[in-house]
Structures are given as structure tokens and as C-alpha cells.
Amino acid sequence: MANVRVGFSDAFFTALTKLQPSIQAKVNKLVLKFQSDPESPGLNYEKLNAVKDESMRSLRVDQAYRVILAAPESGNVYLFLWVDHHDRAYEWAARHTCRVNPNTGTVQLYVSDTQQVSDQVTAVSSQAESTPLFEKLKDRHLLKLGTPEELMNLVREVTTEEGLDDIQEVLPIEAYEGLFLYLAGESYESIIAEREVDEVAHYDITNFADALERVQSQARFVVPKDEKELTEMLNASMDKWRVFLHPSQRRLATGKKNGAVRVLGGAGTGKTVVAMHRAKWLSQQLDGTDKKVLFTTFTRNLAIDITQNLQRICTPEEMGRIEVVNLDRWVQKFLRSHAYDYEVVFDERRLSSYWEKAISEKPTELDMPDTFFKEEWQLVVQAQGCLTVHDYKRASRAGRGTRLSREQRLQIWLVFEEYRRQLNRNRQKETDDAYRDAAHLIQDQEMVLPYSSIVIDEAQDMGTQAFHLLRAIVSEMENDLFIVGDAHQRIYGRNKVVLSRCGINIRGRSRKLKINYRTTDEIRRWAVALLDGRDIDDLDGGVDNNRLYKSLTHGQSPIIENYESAEAQAQFIHALLEKGDFLPAATCVVARTNKEVQVVKELLEGFGVKSSVIKHDMPEDENGDVLKLATMHRVKGLEFDQVILASVNEGLVPLQQVLMNKGDDISKTTAETEERSLIHVAITRARKRAFVLSYGAPSVWL
């Protein structure tokens, strides 16, 4: 019994977090005592009899609570599986099996209760008669996808996607995922290839130690390498994202990459989690060097949130080798340190007077609306770095709705020339100018910066000049750029980026995360439907889609309500909080504008609701049992048990002034897509439940 190692299932942590803190402390003490001496007589370590899985054992926490664990037939790894009140704990043990799957070599934890499986078979068989969904898959295929042999007949009965969801609770997660991906159109061969499963191998079902080393097992089980790591894990918060990574996430986060990597994935698929674990892994490789990992994102508040979360998974030494900063702040600091003689203007509203002056001098024969010039400047001139009229004449205008003759381009350039003259006269530059100037400075002076790698989060919100700069900061080499994004969530009006045109080659190193771990599938479907029929890019000139995007949890569909007045809407929110299904601190009320957030806040305060607005330049306040409020932009990157979209009214959603300021139909369509993406982002912050509320005339999208 020497050198005993203990491991944990993700289900164990789920159960543990539901217990009172005093009970959690007892459980943690019990785990450490067991790891130190599993034969100690004071442990009350007992074999369970009324169970199907003979490896099930129990440990007494106190008179009322029991831990359920699996004892290996051979080897020294014990797996803590569940903890609960003793009656419920024994019931759980009687219904579950923990075993090494002989066909995949992974450890699986699943329901094996014969009666429950029989009931599920009956439910599936009662569906409308149609062709079984998996009839083209042979038995060996189902086994290699992770289906336990005793559940094969159950899977064979499935005839609809709803039927597959009905038996989700019974199946091991890897089996359910594999069957869903096949159902969604992924070939069996590609699923097996991505999982790196040996088609012919059969695995030793008694060897838990080797099975737990496989990446598929590590998605659901963790074995601390020593007592120090075990103690740190038990004393840290139980955020499962810190420990458990899906195999697709783990492969991306670890290991050497031969060049730039692009990771796409829908909301809740763990892109930022992968990015943070990638930064941690890269930092570990730099031990003993003077190099750093630059972790950058689009907004300051996201950089603050990421810093807080990185500190949860990194040691101080690892954190010391990671620099987290949003790109605007990085370029401002860099240029200032090199005596840059311009002020970088990040707030476009400060430049409005320059535009008024420039547009007032446009040739009379140009009949474009004023908004056309700003859009053309941002989406064509700045995006492609046009510094002269000759650059502009050669620039691509793909995706712009207004056709221009050669003569019109010459006339339009006069406006741009005057605008730039206004900027230069006041010694000011736009952000894209600053990015471009910084990139030229690095290249012209052949600077070697202290970064070995850059991790880029929320890449969809960065423009072309930003990626030219990032390419200049770190040249093309091993582990150079790790780019994470999702154009379904583009909410800051940036032009579509084609990475290959920025000197970034991702050929053969592009991956897509498919499983949503945050929201229920019902919320996911509602969010995805907002963007149905819209062309969404993949950040490199192609098209992205969410065909294989899926959530593993289920719940209510978003609840949609309309009220006569803002007061009535606030009264509903107050009543919802009074009901107490979720703590106020686990709820966020989200509105389209800062002004509307304040309206909702004041009305709720009239009902005695304590609330806090999440600011743009501040991290989320994690303390206090107070309701959170935020704009749809600020809530990006956060998550809550319950999200209430408030004031989804006509004129506010979509924001009418945004659509009115667009110069042509294509620009309006793009702006509407971004407004839809904003709702998509906001509602996918919800883990368990979502409301969509309006007052007066509701949004046309409802």
C-alpha cells in the first residue's frame, strides 16, 4: 500500500462544491489522510455490496456523509468519484460503473443501473418508427467511439437526435460526443483520427494507471503527481476549467507547434481556457531564459479578467514570464519608449471635428452620404495601409456596396488627404496608424523584442494592421503565434482579417473546438439561430459555420417576456430575484447601452435590490451578494448562472442609430450582423437560464 496516489473525477468536484464549507473541509482532510495511509483504521474504508461495479468503496466523512471511490484491481491509484449524504452516496454507487474501456483504453464513469437503462430503451423505442440513426456503423465502430458493450442495444434503438439526447445521461461522455459528431456529419474515420484511437488495439481493463495517462481520460479525471500538488488542488477553488481539459483542448494547449496556430470555436467552447493553458505551457518552456510570453487581447477589461484567471493556474514564477496586456496599451507603451512624437487617439469621438472639416470640402459631384467616407477609410484605407492616392487606386474594395470609378477614387482621396492633414497638424494618430508605425519601427531597426511567443485572444475583434504588428513582434518560428477567435462574436466593427495576407501562415495548423461547456443546448440553439443565414468568416478568407457546435447540458429555452413599461420589467426582475432560484451575485442583467443599464439599475434600487455595474476598466466584482449589471459589450468574457437580457426593445436592439449611420445596403447588413452577434454574445454568458425581456414595442428580432 506504499506510494498510494489518489485521483479525482470531475463528478467528484461537482458533488463537493454543493456541500457546506465545513463538510468540504472534512472531505479534504479525509483525502489527505487516505493518501498518506489508506490502511489507517480510523478511515472506515469499506467495500460496498449492493453495487454492480465491484471496485466501489466508501469512506466515512462523518456520521452523515460518505465518499465513494474506486479501488484498483491492481496498481496504486484510487479514484475519488462522488461525495454525498450517505443514503444518496450509496444510491449513486449502486447506479454507476467506473472502468477502463477495453476498446479505447480510457477510464469511463457512467450509469449502469439495469432498470434505468431498460427504461431508456423503452423511451427510445417508443419514438416514431424510422430508420435507426447508427445502422451504418458496425458494432466495432460503436465500441471504438466509446460505447460500453452493455449499452450497444440502447444506442442501436436511437432514431432521432432527441432520442440521442434522451440517453445522454446513461452514456459515457466520450461516447455521446462521438455519436453526436457522427450524427452532425463528421465521418467515423475523422472522429477516430482526431482522438488518435488505435483501431485494432485492445486495452488492459485492470491497468488504471496507464489509462489515466491517456488524454481522453484526462478530460474527466485528474491524478496529482505528488502530495504538494494534491494539497494545492484541494486548497484552490474548484473551478473545473483549471484542471480538466477536453482532449482537443489539451492537444492545443500543450506541445510544440511548427508555426502559427488558429483556434476557432463557438461561445462557451473554452477558447480562452485553451489560450490560458497554452500561455502556462509556453511559460514553463522558458524557465531559465530571459524570454516572455505576450498574452494580448482586444479590450482592457478582458486583459484584466485574463490576468486574474491566469493567476489561478500559474505559479508566481510562471506568471512572471507572461505579460498580459491589451494591444492598444502595449503599442502605446512601446511607442512612448521610442520617443514617438504623436498622441495615439483611441476614442474615435475625439476625431469627429476633423471628419467634419474634411467632408465639408468633398467635391460637389460626389453624392455619397457622409458615413460612406468614414467606412471607406476604416475598411479600405486603414485596413490595407493606403498612404498615397496610388495605394488607394490599387486597393481591393471587396465587400463594399458602392462601386467607384477611377475618377471617383481620386476625388474621394481629397477628403482622406484633408482628414490626415488635420491629424498631422495636431500631432495625432489613429490606432491603425500607431500599429503600422510600430511594426515599421521594429522591422526597420531590426529589433529583437523579449517575446518568444504571442497568445492572441478574441482575434475576431482585431484588424489587419494589428496582425501585421503581431507578426513583426515575433517572427515566423516554432510556437510563434497562437490565435484564438470566433467571428460569430465580432462586436467591435473591425474589418474581416485574412491572416495569410498579414504574413501569418496557419496552413495545416487550424483547429475548431466544438463542445460548449458553458450554456445549455437550448440557450445555444437560440443564440445560433440569431445568425442563421449570415456569412461568418474564419479569419483567413474562408467561411466558418457552427454545424458541429453542441452543448452537453440541457435546461429551459430562453424565456421571452414583454411588459408595458420599464417599471413593469423591473418589477418582474425583482420578483425573479425574490424567488431565489439563483443568488443575485450569480445573475447579471444586461442591456444594450450604458444609459439603459442606469435606467434598469435605478428602477431596481427602487425595489430595494442591491446592484453593481461592471465597468469597462475594472474586473468583475466577485465579492458581495449583489446583482450584477453590464452592457452587452462589457459582459464579453464573463459568465453567470442566470442572464437577463433587459430592454430588448425596438430602437435599442438593434440600436437604430448604428444602422442609420451606414452608407449602403452591404454596410447596413454588416452592422446588423454585428448587432445580432452582440445579442449572441450576451445570451451565451448564461450557464443555466436566460431571460429576454422588453417593454413597449419589442425588438423586431423577437
Q: List CB contacts of 598: < 8 A, sequence separation 6 or more.
A: 613
List the one residue out of 307, 628, 326 whose CA is nearest residue 462. 326
Q: Is 474's pLDDT higher than 70?
A: yes
Confidence (pLDDT) at 596:
97
Helix, strand, coil % in the chain, rounded to nearest 5: 45, 20, 40
Q: Which helix (H) or strand (E) holds 630?
A: strand 627-631
In the predicted model, what is the mean pLDDT of residues 177-186? 93
CATH dotted code for 558-695:
3.40.50.300
Confidence (pLDDT) at 121:
59
- When the candidates are 3.40.50.10470, 3.40.50.10740, 3.40.50.300, 3.80.30.20, the CATH number that belongs to 245-336+446-544 is 3.40.50.300
Confidence (pLDDT) at 1:
47
Model confidence pLDDT, tens digit, residues 45-77? 999 988 989 999 999 999 999 999 999 887 888
Confidence (pLDDT) at 181:
93
In the predicted model, what is the mean pLDDT of residues 618-643? 84
Look at 502 and 657; give whichever has higher pLDDT. Answer: 502
Q: Which helix (H) or strand (E) holds 372?
A: helix 370-376
Model confidence pLDDT, tens digit, residues 247-302? 999 999 999 999 999 999 999 999 999 999 999 999 999 999 999 999 999 888 88
In the predicted model, what is the mean pLDDT of residues 25-34? 93
Confidence (pLDDT) at 523:
97
Model confidence pLDDT, tens digit, residues 79-92? 999 999 999 999 99
Return d(Cα 57, Cα 71) in angstroms, integer. Answer: 7
The DSSP 8-state label assigned to residue 381 in this structure reads I
Where along the chain do its domains lie?
A: 5-100+214-235, 107-202, 245-336+446-544, 343-426, 558-695
Cell output for 465: 494592421
Spell out the SS3 assignment of 150-164: HHHHHHHCCCCHHHH
**Domain 558-695 in the same topology as domain 245-336+446-544:** yes
Return d(Cα 305, Cα 518) in angstroms, integer. Answer: 17
Confidence (pLDDT) at 348:
83
Strands (E) in 207-347, as ranges, are 221-222, 261-265, 292-297, 322-326, 343-345
Percent of the chain past pLDDT 90, that is, above it, reads 75
Grid cell 479590450 is found at: 299
Could you give the 3-state DSSP secondary structure of residue 442?
Answer: helix
Q: Cβ(266)–Cβ(486) under 8 Å?
A: yes
CA atoms within 13 A on the CB side of 522: 11
Confidence (pLDDT) at 493:
75
Q: In 10 A of CB 327, how many CB atoms?
A: 27
Cell output for 681: 454574445
In the predicted model, what is the mean pLDDT of residues 332-340? 95
State which amino acid sits at residue 618.
M
Return d(Cα 194, Cα 693) in angstroms, integer. Answer: 42
Model confidence pLDDT, tens digit, residues 392-421? 999 998 878 778 999 999 999 999 999 999
Q: In 10 A of CB 46, how many CB atoms?
A: 12
Confidence (pLDDT) at 71:
92
Task: Decide the pairing of beta strands 46-47 and 56-60.
Answer: antiparallel
Return d(Cα 191, Cα 179) in angstroms, integer. Answer: 10
Spell out the SS3 assignment of 519-577: EEHHHHHHHHHCCCCCCEECCECCEECCCCCEEEECCCCCEEEEECCHHHHHHHHHHHH
CA atoms within 13 A on the CB side of 162: 7
Model confidence pLDDT, tens digit, residues 108-153? 999 987 566 666 656 655 555 678 999 999 999 999 999 999 999 9
Q: List CB contacts of 274: < 8 A, sequence separation 6 or more.
A: 245, 249, 252, 253, 263, 484, 513
Position 673 confidence tier, pLDDT thresholds 50, 70, 90: very high
Q: How many residues does the chain have?
A: 702
Return d(Cα 170, Cα 144) in angstroms, integer. Answer: 17
Average pLDDT across the chain, whole number: 91
The DSSP 8-state label assigned to residue 377 in this structure reads I
- Considering 233-237, 436-440, 546-550, the range whose residues carry the highest mean pLDDT is 436-440
Model confidence pLDDT, tens digit, residues 511-543? 999 999 899 999 999 999 999 999 999 999 999
Confidence (pLDDT) at 494:
72
Bridge partners, residue 292, by sequence = 451
State which amino acid sits at residue 610.
K
Lowest mean pLDDT among 6-20, 230-244, 579-593: 230-244
Confidence (pLDDT) at 116:
61
Confidence (pLDDT) at 370:
86
Report cis status (omega within 30 of 0) of the bond before 654: yes
Could you give the 3-state DSSP secondary structure of residue 692?
Answer: strand
Confidence (pLDDT) at 402:
79
First vs last Cα of the chain: how many Å apart?
63
In the predicted model, what is the mean pLDDT of residues 624-645? 92
Task: Decide the pairing of beta strands 481-485 and 451-456.
Answer: parallel
Could you give the 3-state DSSP secondary structure of residue 489?
Answer: helix
Return d(Cα 69, Cα 51) in angstroms, integer. Answer: 12
In the predicted model, what is the mean pLDDT of residues 458-480? 96
In the predicted model, what is the mean pLDDT of residues 222-229? 87
Kindly write down the DSSP assignment for every residue of 96-144, as one continuous string: EEEEE-TTT--EEEEE--HHHHHHHHHHHHTSPP---TTTTS-HHHHHH
Return d(Cα 16, Cα 427) in angstroms, integer. Answer: 59
Q: List CB contacts of 317: < 8 A, sequence separation 6 or more.
A: 287
Q: Is 561's pLDDT higher than 90?
A: yes
Confidence (pLDDT) at 176:
95
Please tell me the class of the 5-100+214-235 domain.
alpha beta
Grid cell 427510445 is found at: 124
Cα dihedral sign for 589, 590, 591, 596? positive
State which amino acid sits at residue 676.
R
Q: Cβ(110)–Cβ(96) under 8 Å?
A: yes
Cell output for 486: 470566433
Confidence (pLDDT) at 161:
86
Lowest mean pLDDT among 238-247, 299-308, 638-647: 238-247
Confidence (pLDDT) at 120:
60
CA atoms within 13 A on the CB side of 472: 20
